[in-house]
Amino acid sequence: MQQNSSSEPIVSLRNVRKSFGPLVVLDGVSFAVERGEVLALIGRSGSGKSTALRCIDRFEKVDDGEIVVCGHRVDRPDVDLRALRQDVGIVFQSYNLFPHLTIEQNITLAPCAVKGMATAEAKDLARKVLVQVGLEEKLHAYPEQLSGGQQQRAAIARSLAMQPKVMLFDEVTSALDPELTAEVLKVIEQLAADGMTMVMVTHEMGFAKGIADRIVFMHRGKVHETGPASILTSPTTPELTQFVGTGNLKS
């Protein structure tokens, strides 16, 4: 895997805190993602991993701490959200394709509306990113005509069309059965091989182990253990031992 030591990290969280009412979700979380790095956030449900990911794209506001993403100070109230979100792509568990638009229109919408790209150019781009996820024949289909796995690949293509500097994946295979999961993971693997910087929340331990440069294991709103993918096979804390030991390390 390529590492770029010369520049600043693309994403960095420093001592981030966040509560929903009395419930502390993030209790001083810090980690950084270098250019070209693939980081997997793992942990039990409720450990705060999804919230941490959503804070990066400012779908949640943090109470305290510092978040810098591609030079944007995300923790500040005056952050330019639209500039931030042009640099960051996000893919959700429930795909969230726009049902009234064809796959092509789903993809071309943001490049045209946000970047002012010409329609013809955007259509070429749509074809290109769909080839990347292996869905070129679905250009003119509507989302509901696609399987779950195809919808998720189309959602990835939609994100790619904005040419983001970092991509966030929020449990993107949790709604899919194993067969469809595989086709989505293959697409993400290819992205990693192409050098895309990625942060992913995942339950697929085998996949995380195979693809991630670094693992961040979260427990009770804290980064409990972090290190290369090998920590999954030789964990040092009892919590991670228990987590990977309970059958999470499959496939």
- The DSSP H or E segment spanning 108 is helix 103-115
Closest contact distance (angstroms) between CB of 139 and other proteins is 14
Is 228 an interacting residue with respect to other proteins (CB under 8 A)?
A: no
Nearest to other proteins of 98, 193 (CB atom)? 98
Please select the residue that binds other proteins; options are 64, 98, 210, 241, rule is CB under 8 A. Answer: 98
Shortest distance (Å) from residue 226 CB to other proteins: 26
Please tell me whether residue 109 binds other proteins under the rule CB under 8 A.
yes
Number of residues that bind other proteins (CB under 8 A): 29
DSSP state of 245: I
> Is 11 strand, coil or helix?
strand
Tell whether residue 77 is a contact of other proteins (CB under 8 A). no
DSSP 112: H
Residues in 29-58 that interact with other proteins by CB under 8 A: 57
Q: Where do the DSSP E strands lie in 78-206?
A: 88-91, 166-170, 197-201
As given in the structure block, the two tokens for residue 19 are 């509560």
Nearer to other proteins, 115 or 250 (CB): 115
Residue 72 to residue 52: CA distance in whole angstroms: 16
Residue among 39, 33, 55, 46 at smallest CA distance from 221:
46
| 143-202 binders of other proteins (CB under 8 A) | 144-145, 155, 158-159, 162
Nearer to other proteins, 35 or 158 (CB): 158
Bridge partners of residue 40, in order along the sequence: 200, 215
Write the DSSP assignment of 191-236 as a string of letters.
Answer: HHHTT-EEEEE-S-HHHHHHH-SEEEEEETTEEEEEESGGGGTS-S
Question: What is the identity of the amino acid at 77?
Answer: P
By CB under 8 A, tell whether 94 contacts other proteins. Answer: yes
Between 99 and 247, CB nearer to other proteins? 99
**57 phi/psi in degrees, rounded to 5:** -100, 10
Rounded least distance, CB 94 to other proteins, Å = 5
Q: Which of 85, 153, 209, 214 binds other proteins (CB under 8 A)?
A: 85
Among 21, 78, 100, 233, binds other proteins (CB under 8 A): 100
Contacting positions for other proteins (CB under 8 A): 57, 59, 81-86, 88-90, 92, 94, 96-100, 109-110, 113-114, 142, 144-145, 155, 158-159, 162
